[in-house]
Amino acid sequence: MNEMKRRAIVWDMIERKAFRPESPGKWLSLYAKTLHKLLGMEPRWDRLGQNDEVIFPFLALKCCYFIESASKYSIAFVSESSDCPRGQFHVDSCFLSKSSLQTFADNDKYPRHQIGELARDVEAVLDGMLFHPRCHAHLKCLGIPHVKFDEESGGLPPHEVRIGGGIENPYVFLFHLRYQFCLVSDQVRIAERQRLIDLFQRKIRGKEDVSAKDLFDF
């Protein structure tokens, strides 16, 4: 099997295992309870709903979202101080996109005779899904040039924050924000990146689902 088809299968498996939750409330609750740990801020929430907002005080920004399903949602970035819109995304599942036509991976199995390639395939997929989306915008594109990044103490420069476009799954979108808005240090990001690569490689090998507790390291 060629590399691109293997990676299409891995992408589909990761999304099904972790980002199409049977219990959206539980998934969002653990997102809320663990967000502060990765982002290095004070705890703010015990739970989040499917029509809610997440505030990122270190960016003076809030993210307002409404999830109708795993393939239909809207999300807006708003200035925390003035309610001034910074950018909006809408995903309508009734219209086609290139990715929605890529159905050859559905229910396919990863080739066992190529299992030695799994680690590289998982890493490549998570790069495109979460860590460095192919289609993305930087914070300045959202009109946030004033954000202070403490690079001298190991913080990240604004160019390293990539807000993905074309992300059709709302849970993937929220989870990628969790990683992108981790500005504490490059070391923290590297550790989280490796944790997720190891987690999905292990779960795919073991043919296991990914619980929300595992996903959020709760």
Neighbours of 176 (CB within 10 A): 22
More confident site: 157 or 31:
31
Q: What is the pLDDT of residues 47-70, one digit of tens each?
A: 899 999 999 888 888 899 999 999
Distance CA 191, CA 204 (A): 20
Mean pLDDT of the chain: 87
Confidence label for 170 from pLDDT (cuts 50, 70 and 90): very high
For 61-118, write each residue's pLDDT tens digit.
889 999 999 999 999 998 877 777 778 888 988 887 777 766 555 567 888 899 999 9
Distances (CA, A) of 130 to 19, 108, 135: 12, 22, 11
Q: Determine the Cα–Cα distance for residues 69 and 67; give it in Å rounded to an integer.
A: 6
Q: Taking the model in full, what pTM does it have? A: 0.91
Q: Is the pLDDT of residue 150 over 60?
A: no
pLDDT at 146: 47
**Residue 59, pLDDT score:** 85
Helices (H), the chain: 3-18, 24-39, 118-126, 170-180, 186-205, 212-215
Number of domains composing the chain: 1
pLDDT band, residue 29 (cuts 50/70/90): very high
Which residue segment(s) compose the domain that 51 sits in? 3-215
pLDDT at 24 over 50: yes
Report the distance separating Cα 114 and Cα 63, nearest Å: 41
